[in-house]
């Protein structure tokens, strides 16, 4: 059985067999995950989450959850889990309308290839063109003397707003 990625060790999951050691009593009034089947800890999202109200001695269902007034066979406190990894922001390329709402023809854009610190370009946005070819519209963005598609700007470049020092993708967060 493979445990949830946040569980460091199988021994961190408390059961009725741990009551002799009395280590579970230090977790009373702490939040954690409860279950009646050890297999539930393969994905702690299917376990019940709540506060350990008390430990009920030598019973199979020894861990009492305050919120639901139920007893469970297994408990793992939050403090024994690895922290959740923050979700990375997901982006997609700008649409032409989104691009033109941010960037104005005739004004400069400071941009660079992704990760190429020190190789910034500060060029004028000259315009854009839409070309329909075989029922597909292609948009070219003209910056300086180069032409870029919205996908190319998103995949290969990042830009810097005039009021920040951070570079960001040519796209919007989904």
pLDDT tens sequence across 105-132: 999 999 999 989 889 999 999 999 988 8
Same domain, 114 and 159: yes
Point out the domain boundary residue: 80, 104, 130: 80
C-alpha distances in Å from residue 65, one per residue of 31, 51, 92 = 9, 6, 43
Choose among 155, 148, 160: nearest CA to 118.
Answer: 160
- 125 and 153 both lie in a single domain: yes
Residue 22 domain-assigned? yes
| Residue 4 within any structural domain of the chain | no
pLDDT per residue as tens digits for the range 23-74: 556 888 999 999 999 999 999 999 999 999 988 876 788 899 999 999 999 9
95 and 149 housed in the same domain: yes
- Structurally, the chain folds into a number of domains equal to 2
Residue 32 Cα distances to 14, 19, 76, 109, 130, angstroms: 11, 17, 6, 50, 56
pLDDT recorded at residue 76: 94
CA distance 17 to 55: 12
The percent of residues above 70 in pLDDT, for the chain, comes to 96
Residue 43 shares a structural domain with residue 108? no
- Whether residue 147 lies inside any domain: the answer is yes
**Domain boundary, last residue among 41, 56, 80:** 80
Greater confidence (19 vs 63) lies with 63
Return d(Cα 103, Cα 109) in angstroms, integer.
8
Is 42 found in the same domain as 15?
yes
76 - beta bridge partners? 33
What pLDDT does 23 receive? 58
- Which among 72, 84, 5, 87 has a CA at the least distance from the CA of 43? 5
Its domain, for residue 167, covers: 91-173
- Provide the pLDDT for residue 84: 77
Supply 30's token pair. 């702490």
Is residue 85 one of the residues assigned to a domain? no
pLDDT tens-digit series, residues 136-160: 888 999 999 999 999 999 999 999 9
Both 72 and 136 in one domain: the answer is no
Measured CA to CA, the distance from residue 173 to residue 68 in angstroms comes to: 38
Please determine, for residue 22, whether its predicted confidence score (pLDDT) is greater than 60. no
Q: Is the Cα dihedral 145, 146, 147, 148 positive or negative?
A: negative
**pLDDT, tens digit, 9 for 90 and up, residues 76-101:** 999 999 887 777 788 999 999 999 99
């Amino acid at each position: 059985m493979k445990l949830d990625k946040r569980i460091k060790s199988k021994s961190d999951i408390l059961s009725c067999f741990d009551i002799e050691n009395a280590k579970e009593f230090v977790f009373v009034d702490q939040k954690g995950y409860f279950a009646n089947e050890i297999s539930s800890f393969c994905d702690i999202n299917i376990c019940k989450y709540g506060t350990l109200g008390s430990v009920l001695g030598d019973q199979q269902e020894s861990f009492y959850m305050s919120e639901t007034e139920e007893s469970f066979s297994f408990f793992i406190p939050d403090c024994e889990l690895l922290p959740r990894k923050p979700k990375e922001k997901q982006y997609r390329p700008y649409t032409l309308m989104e691009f033109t709402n941010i960037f104005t023809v005739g004004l400069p854009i400071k941009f660079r290839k992704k990760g190429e610190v020190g190789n910034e370009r500060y060029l004028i946005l000259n315009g854009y063109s839409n070309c329909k070819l075989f029922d597909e519209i292609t948009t070219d963005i003209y910056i300086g003397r180069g032409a870029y598609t919205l996908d190319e700007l998103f995949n290969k470049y990042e830009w810097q707003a005039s009021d920040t020092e951070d570079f960001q993708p040519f796209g919007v967060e989904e």
